[in-house]
Chains A and B, each alone.
Chain A
Amino acid sequence: MLLMLIRRVLLGLVTVCIVSLIIFAGVEILPGDACTQFLGEYQADDELLAQCRKDLDLNRPAIDRFAEWAGGAMTGDLGLAVDGKTKISLIVGDRLQNSLLLALCAMGIGVPLALMLGVITGLWRDRMPDLIGSTLAIFAMTIPEFVSATLLILIFSIWLGWLPGIVLTSASAPAAEFFPEILLPVIVLSLVMCAHIMRMVRSSVIEVMAGDYIQMATLKGVPYWPMVFRHALPNALLPAINVVALTIAWLLGGVVVIEVVFNYPGLGRLMIDSISDRDLPVVQSIALIVASVYVCVNLAADLLTMLANPKLRTMYTRK
């Protein structure tokens, strides 16, 4: 067990290292450098460029700079933005917090709802609850997020006037100040993820309920509901762990469309803004963070699956 833990963590670290290398190399290979990009619009003369490169320390060999950047990143210091003054960790930190807030809220609503609906539609397969649930899920999945977002704004903030349709709170405000503005984006996000997870849970419930061990439990005399909770669900929900993890990673990586529609100051919008500002150091940092989040969340999901699935667990604990 321990062995396999060490192995997985090592593997995760290697992945992050490789990703950071690729990100760094990608930026290096781009024509020009951060300064030509940044100053490009001002018809920069050589003097300005030289000054800028000196400010940004671009004259040293790439390897050196990578080592320094990576070293800094590990201690949480992501360097300075392209303007040479703001600390990236500050900007990104705020945005990461906001994205986290949005993700947590959406998960808090979406995941339990999805599991419940998935189980219900699976158990009542092909009957009313399933037909309604599955149809709605398909709607939620196929309507583009910006359409459903716009619709919700139209209904709840313009017609009914219950909720603000746009987020005006500044990026660095404490979490509490995002309420109630955050509610609409949360609802849209939970709908989308709920639909995905629910369909997955539904098919997994159906598969398990058709299995031999459920037939056996029935023929052994286990009443219906205890059978569902003891025999069916623990098996049916196992594969859900990974899907939930993927969804979480997707949420944390910044949900660009939603953030733009609602003007929500999360990582996704920062990414867009930095790209249009040619702020390469910030883009680099966000890419690194998103990659790390993916690796961590997936690692956590795999570990959880392993703990929850006796087949995998015993593989490492017993000889």
Chain B
Amino acid sequence: MSKQPFISVKDLSVGYNSRSGSTIEVLRNVSLDINRGESIGLVGESGSGKSTLALAAMGYFKRGLRALAGSAHFDEIDVLALNRDELQKIRGGRLALIPQNSGQSLTPTMRIGQQINEALQLHSKVNARQFQSRVIELLAQVRLPDPTALITRYPHELSGGQQQRVAIAMALAGEPDALLLDEPTTGLDVTTQAHILELLRELAQKRNMAMLYVSHDLGAISRVCDRVVVMYAGEIVLTGTARQVLLAPRHPYAHGLLTSIPRLNQTSLPLALDGRPPMPGEAINGCAFADRCALVDEKCRTTPPDLHPIPSGENVRCFKSDMISDMPALNVKAGQRNSARPDAESAALGLESLAISYEKKDWLSSLLTPGATPRPATVDAINIKIQRGETLGLVGESGSGKSTILKAIAGLISPREGVLTLHDDIILTPRVEDRPAPTLRQIQLIFQNPDDSLNPRHTVAQILAQPLRLYYSLSGSALHDASADLLERVRLGAHYLDRLPSQLSGGEKQRVAIARAFAAEPEIVLCDEVTSALDVSVQAAVLDLLDELKTQQGTTYIFVSHDLAVVKAISDRVAVLYQGRLCEIGPADAVYKAPFHPYTDVLLGAVLEPDPDIAPILSADDVVELSPPARGCCFQRRCPRKLGDICDHETPPVRELADGHVIRCHVPASDL
């Protein structure tokens, strides 16, 4: 008998019992093989069952879920048949997982060192006396700075990127033969993400590991995977080599996913994939994708397609895989950005020498430690004028002060220095409590996570009624009509009025949040990472919506994101921030083209494109810093182009190139 693949999932179905007693399937008949030395990417929208599949390969099911049919083997061991103790010997040892949410996956009451030590105790053959040095070795291996100091830290004392690396170090402690990675880099800065992926590639090669890489980030997948499996609504719809799937997908859904990704070489909005996947348990007669598919015909609605091989080598669950070429090409975008050109004459908002510090002056501590010098401000010397109808993108790594600036504009934190002006003539009072109602109405904020910003106990109608009552004193049928109209504008429709946030998908929630912001008919909308928590397909739809609203109403946006491609797609002008200092600002096209500020260069180099032919360019040692330097250029400690002393001591000059493109660097623009 021929040997089974190293990880082998066969015809697996997973489901749970609904309250009415019926069994609801979240995975249907899924098969997946991974050999040693192979890395497989698993992609699909949120809720498509990616995590469920990865966990099932470890014999683990979330509370409530169970295997209904099929098998899962690891190195010829049936993991679904093992008892609890036997499973625990394999888990974390030969078969390790890097979790979706490493920030919440580290035990808050245990030190980093203890947690890795525990993994060593359980699985490592290393002599107990060498544990300590082995822990330090592991932490150094994942490029964490100062491992010796780190082992006594608690998880909350590390940044998101560092926590992620600790989780990787912990997974490597058991010297695994197979590694399952569940969105290991989602939400990380581009630079950190690129570094972690390089590390994983290296390790996989060196140790000849089998890897399953779960993500909805096709850029990351293209970087590390040989083969890609695409899931939709609990089923596999396409498998093939990374090159096949990412460059010429033979399934309409995979094609749609790829077109909805904003890319650096384009200035237009990505094409959105409309609609949403069926909920688990929803009756599906034909193809699960039929409602969203551009190629759908009668047969698709009545007969479920099989997963079958096609001549070019992929497996496809679609009747019309040979007709994908009729769909719009992947990298020519139809979704032109239709924004009205900004009105250069009138400024919507001005930030003048803005400086913000979180350090609080406290009478008791100043009494006990007199003469302590204040630390450099978190955000400093920001001068930006934003034209009416313009979209200004703010980019930078985590900790670069993007959200802090938005908070200051919204009046949630008082600046230490500087003034904010509205329309050139109105000076904004620092604190939101002191602002008059009309000013309040003009500036609205949309947050990253709609789950946090929408009250889970309020219906959509109640959520939208708040601003309408507050700013326009609407009530009764006028209120209802206005709310229905708002929902119409965000393409949701009045029947959503009675829903609670928990009955909405992520994209729908974010649209409700947008509708709430637009209820005030604001002039300026501050968007804080509004698409970061969303799938690419939903993200494209939200970007499209924002752009449309702007065209209708001439709104001014400040759009904060760590995703450079998204910012490029939606912004007219882009500002690059590092440690709360402005590095570069200018028209979007100019910023994404040479000459670059050295930091912009580093950021752009690290962006992962969903194309196996484009590799990121990484500079050797970038570690995200915790606080800005007291003097000189803010980027001095990481800059690959650093000139020397002058960068350490003197603030770089403001050099204006053509078209309001400003770069702050000691290196002359002609050399950048």
Interface residues of A (CB under 8 A from B): 3, 6-7, 210-213, 215-224, 230-231, 234-235, 238, 309-311, 314, 318
Contact = CB atoms under 8 A, between A and B. Distances in A.
Nearest to A308: B109
Interface string B113-130: 000001100110000000
Given A220-B91, A310-B154, 4 more contacts: A212-B105, A220-B118, A310-B109, A314-B154
B407 interface: no
A79 B321 CA distance: 95
Given A221-B89, A311-B154, A212 B122 contact: no
Contacts of A230: 107, 110, 118
B63 A219 contact: no
Given A211-B104, A213-B104, A219 B97 contact: yes
Contacts of A219: 55, 58, 60, 91-92, 96-97, 99
Contact of B123 (A7, A221, A223, A235): A221
B365 interface: yes
B107 A213 contact: yes
B101 A212 contact: yes
A contact face: mostly helix, strand, loop, or mixed: helix
Nearest to A226: B118
Contacts of B297: none
Given A212-B99, A220-B122, A221-B174, A235 B108 contact: yes
Contacts of B111: 310
Nearest 8 Cβ contacts at the A-B interface = A221-B92, A220-B92, A216-B105, A212-B104, A234-B109, A310-B154, A221-B91, A213-B107
B175 to A, nearest CB: 12
Nearest to B103: A212
B110 to A, nearest CB: 7
Nearest to B170: A220
Contacts of A218: 60, 88, 91
B3 interface: no
30 contacts: A3-B364, A7-B364, A211-B104, A213-B108, A215-B60, A215-B62, A216-B97, A216-B99, A216-B105, A216-B106, A216-B167, A217-B107, A218-B91, A219-B55, A219-B60, A220-B96, A220-B118, A220-B122, A220-B174, A221-B92, A221-B93, A223-B85, A223-B88, A224-B88, A230-B110, A235-B108, A309-B109, A311-B108, A314-B156, A318-B157
Interface in B538-579: none
A213 B89 contact: no
Interface string B76-95: 00000000110011111100
Nearest to B62: A215
Interface residues of B, number: 39
A65 to B, nearest CB: 33
B19 to A, nearest CB: 14
A6 B170 CA distance: 40
Contacts of B1: none
B658 interface: no
B109 A221 contact: no
Contacts of A6: 364
Given A3-B368, A230-B110, A310-B154, A222 B118 contact: yes
Contacts of A314: 154, 156-157
Nearest to B87: A221
A224 B106 CA distance: 17
A171 to B, nearest CB: 44
Nearest to A227: B88
A276 to B, nearest CB: 46
A95 to B, nearest CB: 38
A221 B154 contact: no
Interface string B343-379: 0000000000000000000001100100000000000
A318 B158 CA distance: 13
A29 to B, nearest CB: 34
A220, A223, A238, A309 — most chain B CB neighbours (10 Å): A220
Contact of A222 (B88, B101, B105, B157): B88
Interface in B363-414: 364-365, 368
A215 B101 CA distance: 11
Given A7-B364, A215-B99, A311-B154, A221 B88 contact: yes
A3 to B, nearest CB: 6
A221 B90 contact: yes
Nearest to A214: B107
Contacts of A220: 91-92, 96-97, 118-119, 122, 170, 174
A213, A231, A238: which has the most chain B beta carbons within 10 Å?
Answer: A213
B99 A222 contact: no
Interface in B205-247: none
Contacts of B93: 221
B170 A231 contact: no
Nearest to A220: B92
B659 to A, nearest CB: 44
Nearest to B122: A221
B364 A222 contact: no
Contacts of B55: 219
B77 to A, nearest CB: 14
Contact of B105 (A210, A213, A309, A310): A213
A216 B60 CA distance: 11
B149 to A, nearest CB: 11
A212 B106 CA distance: 8
A270 to B, nearest CB: 39
Contacts of B85: 223
Contacts of A235: 107-109
A213 B107 CA distance: 5
Contacts of B364: 3, 6-7
Given A218-B91, A221-B174, A213 B63 contact: no
A58 B62 CA distance: 72
B662 to A, nearest CB: 35
Given A3-B368, A219-B99, A310 B108 contact: yes
Contacts of B89: 221
Contact of A310 (B97, B156, B170): B156
Nearest to B60: A219
A215 B89 CA distance: 15
Given A3-B365, A3-B368, A310-B154, A222 B92 contact: yes
B277 to A, nearest CB: 24
B526 to A, nearest CB: 29
Contacts of A222: 88, 92, 118, 122
A238 B109 CA distance: 10
A36 B241 CA distance: 97
Contacts of A217: 107
A212 B365 CA distance: 37
Nearest to A233: B109
A230 B115 CA distance: 10
Contact of A224 (B63, B84, B91, B119): B84
B124 to A, nearest CB: 11
A6 B362 CA distance: 14
A75 to B, nearest CB: 28
A213 B174 CA distance: 18
A314 B118 CA distance: 22
A231 B106 CA distance: 9
Interface in B20-71: 55, 58, 60, 62-63
A218 B107 CA distance: 12
A40 B174 CA distance: 83
A210 B96 CA distance: 20
Contacts of B104: 211-213
